[in-house]
Structure formats: C-alpha cells, structure tokens
Structure 1
Amino acid sequence: MKSIKYLVYSILIGLLFTSCLLRKEYNRTVEVDNDHLYRIDTEVDSTQNFGTIIWADFFKDSVLKQYIEKGLEQNFDVRIALENVEIAKSRFKQGKQVNLPTVSGNVSGAYTKNTQNGQFGNAFGDITRYDVGLDISWEADIWGKLKATSEVARMNLLQQSEVKKAITSDLVSQIAFSYYRLIGYDKQRDILDKTIIARQESLEVTEALFSAGEVTLVAVKQSEALLYNSKVLLVEVEKNIEITENALSFLMGESGQLLERDTTFTDRFDFKLDVGIPIQLLENRPDIKSAEYLLINSFEQVNIAKANFYPSLKISVGGGLQSTDLENWFSPSSFLFNVLGQATQPIWNQRKIKTEYEVSQSQEKKALFNFQRQILMAGQEVSNSVMIINRQGDIINNQQLECDAYRDAVEYSQDLLLFGSANYLEVITARQNLLQAELVLVNRQLDLITEYIKLYNALGGGWS
C-alpha cells in the first residue's frame, strides 16, 4: 500500500516539475537602440520629454481645449473603445476563474407509471422519485495551460486599454489639426478678401488707363481675369472651411455646424525639443505597448497549443439525495456519492493539435515583427518631426522675405505703370506672385504647428 502511495506522489511531483518546464514565461527580447533610433544631432536627455505633458498644458488655446474635451466625451471611436475595454474586463474576470472548479446543483422529481402488459407486468408498480444533487468538476493545471489562458485574458484587457489610449491620443491630434487648419483657411480668406478689393481697384485704374490710351484692351482683360481668379480661390477656401468644420464637428460627435475659433495661431509651442531617450517610447506610446501586449498574447497562445499535446486530468465529485418518498428524503440512507478521475490523452486528432501549434508559432513571429516595426516607425516619426521643426523656421523666414519682396514689386510696378515706365504684364505678374506667396506663407506657418502636434503624438502625448 505504501509503495502505491509513493508511486502516486512520485507521479504527481513529476507532473508538477514537467509543468514548470513546459510553460515558459515571457521575457522581452527586443532591444531599443538608444544611440541610433533617433536621427537627431543634439544630445538627448532621459529626464526631459515633452511627450509626457498632459494635453491641457500642451495646448494653450481655450477654444481648442473645449473642443478636445467635448471630443473625448462624445467621439464615437472613443466610446466604442471604452466598450471594448469593458468587454475585455469581463473576459479577464472570467479568465481569473479558470483554475477554480465548476459547481452545479440540480433538483428533480419524476413519476413513472409502468405498463401492466410489459415484460415485468405490474411487478414494480408506479414509481415516484425525488433527486437533489451537487456536482463539482475540477481540471488540474498540470501543464500550465490554464495559467496561459488566464494570461491571454489579461493581455487582451491591457491591449484594449492601450488601444483606447491610442485612439484618444490620435483624436486629440486630429481635433487640433482641424482647428488650426480652420484658422489657416480664415487667414487665407482674409488675404483673398483684401486681394479682391485691391484687384477691383486695379481693374478700375487699368480701365481708366485704357480710356486714356495708355494700355491696350488686353491689359484690361488680364486685370479682369485676375479679379475672377481671386474670387474662384475665395470660393475654394470657403468650401474648405465648411468641409473642415463638418469634419471637426464629426470628431466631436456632432453634426456639421459653424464653429468658433481664434483668429491667430495663439499656440506658439515654444517648448524645448526634449524628446527623451528612445526606450521611453515603450512606456509612453500606447500603440507600442499595445503591440507588445499582442506579442505576449501570442506567446501565451503558443504555451496553450504546446500543452494540448499532453494529457489533461479532470476530477469530478458528485453527491446528493435520492428517495422515492419525500418523508425519507433527508435520511442518511438517501445519500449518494461518487468520485471520478479522468485523464485524457490525444492520440489522433486529424493533425489539428499540431496545426494549431504551428500556426501559433507563426502568429507569435508576426506579433514580434509588428512590435519591432512599431518601434522603428516611432523612431522615424520622431526624427522626421524634429528635423522639420528645426528647419521650418528658416523656411517661414524666407517665405516672409519673399512676400515682402513681391509686395514691394507690386507697389513699384503700379507706380511705374502710372508713369508709363512699366507694362501691364509686370504688374500682373507681381500681383499674382504676391498672392501665391502670401497663401503659401500661411501653409508654412500651419505646417510648423502641425509638426509640433505630430511630434507630441509621436512621443506618446495626448492620451493623458
């Protein structure tokens, strides 16, 4: 008898030891190159990172902050993401219970009337039976399969939480993009309004010169065409304003409407370009954290698939009361009890288990590649934004000088035309160049603001 006990204990200890060897724990194998992931000339400081600034401090425009708050409350993508998190929470709660036994109770009553013409005639008479029972079933986690299943549920919850953060961060950026684009269109509309007034006056001067025989009818028609051209551009800008207002309203979960905004680019984003060190991306960027949680999920799926090759052990216990008479239902003689131990070893399963294992391994590799890709892409986004911000200032300054030069050219050519020292083509060319340069200057200024927001997003800012 003792030898049997020792044998059982030895088997159990061996199974537990094998379980420890079978299921592996996840360890991050991807290393972040802090020296080369960012293509930045300046030294990086691990203690400074403006991607950690909360969005309410990053943006200064009070109207914009109201729109962001409204978007975070009403945007449908954010609300859907929140529900996905709730779904993952429920599944995680269930996943934590996989190691516990399942318990079910049953109560039944039955009445059987036997036929007198049957094999036994009326020997047994009519039978009334009452049953009440409790069944308990528990699966031993010998190979770590249930632990891996619980980890999958936990990773799903963490991953959905990071997806929600990523959606929030992108929403904040998209609202800011749309808002500043509206301000940019407003500035272009102001430029075109002034241009139309100036070109109307210029047309009147050209018509007077034509009447005096100083210019030809071609000059009049060219001036007239320029006026119509500026009106067409104005309609295009007004169309873009309404489209952008509709898009911004949609981001806030509302139908299209006229939206209030500031008249200037009030946010100067005069932060020092402290981008931190690349490894901080693993903690700050929700899309990277989400990718790693997906990798861990796939890793645990491999553990589950591997455990499926080995036998499962299930223990079932049942007990209850059974009697044909209610008066004797609770007597000791009505008690029944059973215990069942069952080990199931897959032998032939149409290659399903092996296929699932091979697929899980490939899925893990895909998740690893995706994790690495997200890190590399984040480094590229940060590098590009820093480079553009550092160079955009020179572009804006030169664009401003170009506008000043064309503005002088328009003034000089108009004066020379009045005195007959310049032809109308010089005036027309100068006016057209000035308009294009002024419109481009607005876009250059908008590009700088947009790039600051992109860098903030690339560093993981916007979700807090």
Structure 2
Amino acid sequence: MKLIYKHSLVIIGFAVLILSACVTQKYETPKVTTADLYRDNNTTDTTTIANLPWKNLFNDANLQTLIQQGLNENLDLKQAIERIRIAQATLQQSRAAFLPTLQADVSVTDAKQSQAALNFPPGVNINLETQTYRAQLSTSWEADIWGKLSSAKRASYANLLQTDAAKRAVQTQLIANIANAYYNLIALDKQLKITLETVKSRTNNVETMKALKEGALVNGAAVVQSEANLYAAEVTIPDLKRSIRETENALNVLLARVPGTILRSDLDSQTPYSDLQTGVSAQLLKNRPDVQAAELSFRAAFENTNVAKTFFYPSLTLTASGGLSTLQLADFFNNSVFYNLIGGITQPIFARGQNKARLTTAQAQQQQAFYTFQQTLLTSGQEVSNALYAYQTATEKETTRAKQIASLTKAVDFTQELLRYSSATNYTDVLTSEQSLLAAQLSGVSDRLQKLQAVVNLYRALGGGWK
C-alpha cells in the first residue's frame, strides 16, 4: 500500500508539472542587440574600469571621505534599502502561499428563542436560552496545478532582485553625483581665485593709468576704461561665491547633512584617471545595475503574464475543519468532536471579462517592460559614447587652451609696455587683451572640469561603483 501511495504521489506531481507547463511558459532572457553601442570604439578587450573599486579611481582623500559618508548616510540609498526589505517580505509571502492556511477559533454563543415565534402548544415548557461552546481548527490549501503560485513566486523573486539592482544603480549614481559636485566645487574655487588675482592686477592697472595720465601719456578716457575693466571683474565675484555656496549645499544634501562648509583640496592637485578601458558593450548587461533592473522588471512582468493565464483554468482547493462543540461546558471534552472535509474545483465561466482584461493588461505591461529594457540599454551605450568623446575633446582643448593663455599673457604684457612708452597704443588694446586673457583662463578651468567629470561619467556609464 505504501509503495502504491508513493507511486500515486509521483504520478500526481508529474501530472501537475505537465499541466503547468501547458499553461505557463519558462522565462528566457530577451534577445537584444548589444553590438556597436559605444560608437567608434569596437574594442575586443574585456578589461573595463567598471570593475575598479571607486577608491582606486579617485585619489583625492577628501573626495574619498565624502563618498564614503554619502554611502553611509544618503537618504535615497536608505530608501532603496527599505524597498529591498519590502520585496523580501513579498517574496516570503509568495513562498508561504504553497503552504496550507491554519486558523484557530474559540467562541461562546448565547442564544435565546422567542416563545411566541415557536408557536408551542399551551403547557409546553422548554428552555428557550442555550449556550454553545466551540473550539475549532480550520485549514485550506490550493493545489498549484497550473503554476499560478510558482509564477507568482518567481515574479516576487524577480522584483527582489530588481530592487537590489535598483539600489546598486542608486549607489553608482550617488558616487558620480558626489564626485561631479566636488570637482565642480573646486573648479569654482579656481575660477574665484583667478578672478580675485585679476581684480588685484586691474586695481594696479588703475593706479598705473592715473600715474600715466599725470605724465600726460594717456588721457582721462584710459583711466575711466581701466576702472570699468576693474569693475567688470569685480561684479562676477558675488555670483561665483553664490555658486560655491549652492554647490556646497547640494553636496551636503547628498551626504544627508545640514548646510555647511565642505573640506576640499584644489583643482591643480587633481590627476584624472587616464587608463579609460571600456570593455565590450555586451558587458553592460552585467555591469550596469539599471540595465539589470530593467531586465528583471521585464522578467517579473513575464511571470505576471503567466499568472494571468492561470485564471482561465479551474482551481483545486481543499479545506478542512474540526474541533470540539458542546452545549454544556462540563461536557466539553466528552463526545463533542466534530470535523468536515471539503474538496472543490472552481471553473470560471463568466467573470464579466475580468480574466481577459487581466491577461491583456499583463501582456501590455510585459511589452512595456521589454521596451524599457531596450531603451535603458541604448541609453547606457549613448552615455558611454558621450563620456568618452567628452574626455577626448577636453584633452584636445587643454592643449590648445594652454597655448592660447600663454599667447594672451604675452599680449597683455606687450600692450601694457607699449602703452607706457608709445603714444601709438591706446588703452583699448590693453583692455581687449586683458578681457580675452581672463575669459581664456576661466575657460581653461572649465576644460579641466570637463575632463575630470568625463572620467566620472564614463565610470558610472560603464556600471562602476558598486562592486
């Protein structure tokens, strides 16, 4: 008998698997094109900076401290962790759906009938009030014939993995945001320093113009022009200071801190990471957390479609209850046992179009998730290409900009000397060369910032910062 029982269980289990496979489908990773996502970078070397720990990419000790503080305290990252906990609880709930429910119920019922309503003959004396004491256990279990519970569990598991990938995406973005804000801050410091030095130099020029006027070498217009040139530099200082303050405040928000000063070094001490290896574009599927999250979202939608299909088929439910019930508390454990067993199959016949609408919605959501996955992958390739080209163009500009600044510095010196010793030169020549020099120096800082931030953006675009 035991052997027959075991064989029966095997046959039933095998039949359930076959029936489930007929309704639900097995998930397969969607086929998407990953070739040539980087544009003009068809390398076959799989080495990528995405595998570098972030501390190896950023050698500034102050920046390293800020990034670590952000990873410990950032509120967006903490919210992402809480979303993981929610997904874990949902997965646990979907796993528990395979187990039967069990409920306990203890009750005391006091009931009294109306003598007038019972219509007994005269002289009949019956107790119209009764007390019923009842204690029972009840259980219910649904057989996963069509794979509904299994698909729901797989969907919950995919959602859990998706929230974990989303948390890693938040982390990579956080590291990039902190680094970019930090570099922007020290670039603003450098621009403020250049502007202050320019103001100091132009203040001396004003005094020189006044002295030259007294010597009849220049006229009053030159003095006024020199003063206007000084004010043109001074008026930019408040905006630079405001930008510095706002950048500090933005950094503090990333660190979950109140507004305050940010400890930092300077732009001149920064050495951009130069070995910018990207690997092959297919590696984005395993390195980019947001790409992983998009695929897992599609996977969850795929399993939800499987669940929607099962609603068209009958469900098998087994329920049982049993316990003790008596009218006299003293006889509670004497001949008061009761139980019932129910096995039922429910086949949907007419559900007002709910099952069809559920399936249509699930299929549309699955297709949306697939398009989102494709879009995320294409966007990631675009970001890698943009960051690489930004680094390349910044490097080209740095070389040319250095030559421009050197030439403009000489031009300022030459025109100032000519103004002192030649009446053929007017202050407009000096003014033009000084303004051009300041603009070139500030642009040089922007070039340096672009190069530093291009490395950060490339690192994030490749999926670095979470390993």
User: Above 0.5 in TM-score?
Assistant: yes
Could you tell me whether the CA contact under 8 Å between 1:166 and 1:286 is conserved in 2? yes
Shift of 1:266: 3.6
Q: Does 1:304 align with 2:307?
A: yes
Match of 1:85 in 2: 84
Distance 1:337 1:390, change over 3 A: same
2:67 alignment partner in structure 1: 68
> CA 1:254–1:15 in structure 2 vs 1: closer, same or farther (change >3 Å)?
closer
Q: 1:193 to 1:136 in 2, by over 3 A?
A: same
Partner residue of 2:408 out of 402, 406, 409: 406
**Contact 1:170–1:457 under 8 Å retained in 2:** yes
The answer (yes or no) to whether the contact 1:245–1:256 under 8 Å persists in 2 is: yes
Alignment-mate amino acid for residue 98 of structure 1? A
Residues 174 and 11 (structure 1 numbering): CA distance in 2 closer, same or farther, change over 3 Å?
closer
Aligned residues: 456
Structure 2 equivalent of residue 283 of structure 1: 286
CA distance in 1, matches of 2:42, 2:342: 70
The CA distance in 2 between the partners of 1:30 and 1:232, in whole Å, is 57
What is the CA–CA distance in structure 1 between the aligned matches of 2:272 and 2:187, rounded to whole Å? 16
Post-superposition offset of 1:349: 1.8
Q: Contact 2:16 / 2:144 at 8 angstroms: preserved in 1?
A: no
Aligned match of 1:442: 445
Counterpart mapping for 1:120-199 below 5 A: 121=120, 122-199=125-202
CA distance in 2, matches of 1:265, 1:292: 42
Matching of residue 319 in structure 1 with residue 322 in structure 2: yes
Quote the residue 1:452 is aligned against: 455
Aligned to 1:96, the other structure's residue is in SS state helix
Q: Which residue of 2 aligns with 1:57?
A: 56
After superposition, give the CA deviation of every residue in 1:312-352 in whole Å (9 maximum; x if it has no partner): 11110111111222333223x31111111122222222212
- On the 8 A contact 1:40/1:386 being kept in 2, the answer is no
2:19 corresponding residue in structure 1? 18
Is contact 1:40–1:387 with CA below 8 Å preserved after alignment? no
CA deviation digits over 1:173-199, x for unaligned, max 9? 111111111110111111111101110
Q: Once structures 1 and 2 are overlaid, which stretch shifts more, 397-406 or 157-166?
A: 157-166
Q: Secondary structure, in 3 states, of the residue corresponding to 2:318?
A: strand
- Of 336, 356, 359, 1:357 maps to 359
1:37 is matched with 37
Match of residue 268 from structure 1: 271
Tell me by how many angstroms 1:216 deviates: 2.5
Matches of 1:117 and 1:366, distance apart in 2: 68
Please state how far the C-alpha of 1:149 moved relative to its aligned partner: 1.1
**Residues 1:218 and 2:221 aligned together:** yes
Q: Could you tell me the TM-score, scaled by structure 1's length? A: 0.93
1:429-462 deviation line (CA, Å, top 9, x unaligned): 0000000000000000000000000000001112
Partner of 1:231: 234
What secondary structure sits across from 2:223 in the alignment? helix
Q: CA deviation at 1:254?
A: 1.1
CA displacement, residues 274-296 of structure 1 (integer Å, 9 cap, x when unaligned): 11112211111110011011101
**C-alpha spacing 1:18/1:219, structure 2 compared with 1 (3 Å):** same
Is this contact kept in 2: 1:95–1:149, CA < 8 A?
yes
Amino acid at match of 2:27: Y
* Number of the residue aligned with 1:430: 433
1:106 is matched by which residue type in structure 2? D
Structure 1 counterpart of 2:262: 259
Amino acid in structure 2 at the alignment position of 1:355 = A
* Residue identity opposite 1:52 in structure 2: N
Q: What displacement does 1:382 show?
A: 1.0
Rate the CA distance shift 1:16–1:28 in 2: closer, same or farther, 3 A: closer
Instruction: Give the SS at the match of 1:79.
Output: helix
Q: Which runs of 5+ in 2 are unaligned?
A: none
Superposed displacement of residue 379, structure 1: 1.1
- The AA in structure 1 aligned to 2:29 is R
Q: CA deviation at 1:390?
A: 2.6
Shift of 1:311: 1.4
Q: CA RMSD in A?
A: 2.1
Give the whole-Å Cα distance in 1 for the aligned partners of 2:367 and 2:113: 65
Name 1:377's counterpart in structure 2.
Answer: 379
Q: Write the distance in 1 (CA, Å) between the matches of 2:101 and 2:153.
A: 16
The CA deviation string for residues 390-433 of structure 1, in whole angstroms up to 9 with x for no partner, is: 33212101011100000000001111110114221111100000
Contact 2:42–2:280 (CA under 8 A) maintained in structure 1: no
* Letter paired with 1:416: L
Q: Secondary structure at the match of 1:416?
A: helix
Q: Match of 2:69, SS?
A: helix
Aligned-residue offset at 1:51: 0.8
Partner of residue 203, structure 1: 206
**What is the CA–CA distance in structure 2 between the aligned matches of 1:9 and 1:275, rounded to whole Å?**
52
Q: Distance in 1 between matches of 2:77 and 2:13?
A: 49
* Partner-residue secondary structure (3-state), 2:28: coil
Matched, 1:106 2:105: yes
Q: Is the 8 A contact 2:320 2:342 kept in 1?
A: yes
Structure 1 residue 42, shift from structure 2 partner: 5.8
